[in-house]
Amino acid sequence: MSGRWPLFDLRLTSPRLELRYADDSDLLELAEVAGEGIHPPDVMPFMTPWSDAPPAERARSVLQWNWRGRAVLRPESWSLPFAVVSDGRVVGIQDVVASDFEFVREVSTGSWLGQRHQGQGIGTEMRAAVLALAFEGLRSRFALSGAFTDNPASIAVSRRCGYEPDGIARLVRRGRPETQLRLRLSRERWAEFATTPVQIHGLTDEVKAMLGAADPS
Ligand SMILES: CC(C)(COP(=O)(O)OP(=O)(O)OC[C@H]1O[C@@H](n2cnc3c(N)ncnc32)[C@H](O)[C@@H]1OP(=O)(O)O)[C@@H](O)C(=O)NCCC(=O)NCCS
């Protein structure tokens, strides 16, 4: 597929992890991981509570969501779902999304790990990997993240990477108004905080053009 869809060759490697643009077999593994559970039932880290669905439906929604993202990708609006591989197994997903990247030079990230893979430093390392892609590979100016106030793990990952407070958003979650912390990382702060060595593979001129990130001529 990579001849026609070169994103399938996009890959990031860090000391413990491989992050690869998810193909269908990765998505199937991700679906299984999601089916096994991402968080306890009494918490909800996501704005859209897709993970409240029963296991089979939750697993299928991982396929549908990511197929959709692939289908609507264009330079003005894109998402890159990376399957996160640790010890040869897919353990979660790290997404990078952008709108009008050519002009705005900002990416946002989102992620989840299977519940049994959390709390081992994987979340911090996978965020570091996509930040290297954003700032070093794509010449981003900023990276954004958001987390509900009751998600200490996500907030801790952002703080460790150097993100700074960027206001709040009031959002409805499970039918109730909640506060989401918005976080912003500048290119300068990233350079100051980045310590994880990351290799970027497959970021060709063709891939950059698909993302509105072509090098200036
Ligand atoms: C958020 C998530 C990706 C983080 O990945 P992780 O591998 O669990 O995080 P790490 O092990 O790298 O830990 C990062 C930091 O969070 C802290 N942390 C982890 N779990 C925590 C918890 N339950 N309470 C408080 N701090 C916690 C760690 O101590 C670490 O802090 P430190 O760097 O100061 O030591 C993962 O927990 C997850 O998938 N959660 C469910 C889905 C989710 O919340 N997605 C994000 C939506 S915004």
Predicted local distance difference test score (pLDDT) of residue 216: 77
Distance in Å, CA 155 to ligand 1 centroid = 8
Predicted local distance difference test score (pLDDT) of residue 215: 82
Distance in Å, CA 102 to ligand 1 centroid = 31
Average pLDDT, the chain: 97
- Which residues lie with the beta carbon below 6 Å from any ligand 1 atom? 38-39, 45, 111-113, 118-124, 147, 151-154, 156-157, 160
Predicted local distance difference test score (pLDDT) of residue 85: 98
Pocket test residue of 124, 145, 163 for ligand 1, highest count of atoms within 8 A of CB: 124
Index of the ligand 1 atom closest to the CA of residue 38:
41
Predicted local distance difference test score (pLDDT) of residue 134: 98
Index of the ligand 1 atom closest to the CA of residue 119:
11
Index of the ligand 1 atom closest to the CA of residue 45:
44
Nearest to 12 by CA among 132, 123, 101: 132
Which residues of the chain register pLDDT less than 70?
Answer: none
Index of the ligand 1 atom closest to the CA of residue 122:
7
pTM over 0.85: yes
Predicted local distance difference test score (pLDDT) of residue 1: 87
Q: Whose CA is nearest to atom 9 of ligand 1?
A: 123
Q: What tokens were used for 21?
A: 């643009």
Distance in Å, CA 80 to ligand 1 centroid = 21
Predicted local distance difference test score (pLDDT) of residue 204: 97
Q: Whose CA is nearest to atom 35 of ligand 1?
A: 156
How many other C-beta atoms can be found within 10 angstroms of the C-beta atom of residue 30? 24
**DSSP assignments along 91-129, one per residue:** EEEEEEEEESHHHH-EEEEEEEE-GGGTTSSHHHHHHHH
Predicted local distance difference test score (pLDDT) of residue 72: 98
Distances (CA, A) of 74 to 15, 63, 119, 135, 162: 31, 19, 35, 20, 29
